[in-house]
Chains A and B, each alone.
Chain A
Amino acid sequence: GAVVSQHPSWVICKSGTSVKIECRSLDFQATTMFWYRQFPKQSLMLMATSNEGSKATYEQGVEKDKFLINHASLTLSTLTVTSAHPEDSSFYICSARAMTSNEQFFGPGTRLTVL
């Protein structure tokens, strides 16, 4: 149980384009989903927290207009990186927390490379 998927697992795009990453909880309903970014040899940095049907809460320093988060259902959240630039290249990981649980379960991550 507690399986979280992400799609795509990797993406390469040109500078200035937008990229959408999907995060799905496959076998449970996720009231809250989280988006993290991880740079090489660094730990996970929380970008934003999203609750189903509500606007996401962004961490300080994260541009909400650049990283659009939508949590439309209890099993799906999306992160759209708008007008991506090379400095946005990173490993993006989502996690999901069930209504009755305190644990966060993580997806496999999406490697974004912006050329």
Chain B
Amino acid sequence: EDQVTQSPEALRLQEGESSSLNCSYTVSGLRGLFWYRQDPGKGPEFLFTLYSAGEEKEKERLKATLTKKESFLHITAPKPEDSATYLCAVQARSEKLVFGKGTKLTVNP
């Protein structure tokens, strides 16, 4: 069974304090790994898709990386507006996404 585990469950940072979120996965035949951002009471917002180990993608203060067992979402010099829940999802042989429980990030000014 495909599984996604995200850690930590919650993370508090000071503005400017860089850190990383982890997404470990077990899947037979990874077609893609996706990162989303979700604000309270809203739908997830697409951030990145990674397809193969070694791949990296960047967007503003966020950088996502992928290995054969896990993905990291690095946040450089975060700002309060980066506060949200970050969701990781994997896609295996079907087009279904299996989501982790997310990491709730709070960035204090």
Contact = CB atoms under 8 A, between A and B. Distances in A.
A106 B37 CA distance: 11
A93 B102 contact: no
Contact residue range for chain A? 20 to 34
Contact of B49 (A103, A107, A108): A103
Given A106-B44, A107-B43, A108-B43, A43 B95 contact: no
B44 A102 contact: no
A53 B6 CA distance: 36
Main secondary structure of the interface of A (DSSP, over half): strand
Q: How large is the interface on B (under 10, 10 to 19, 20 to 34, 35 or more residues)?
A: 20 to 34
A44 B98 CA distance: 8
B53 interface: no
A7 interface: no
Contact of B34 (A32, A42, A103, A107): A103
Given A42-B101, A109-B41, A103 B96 contact: no
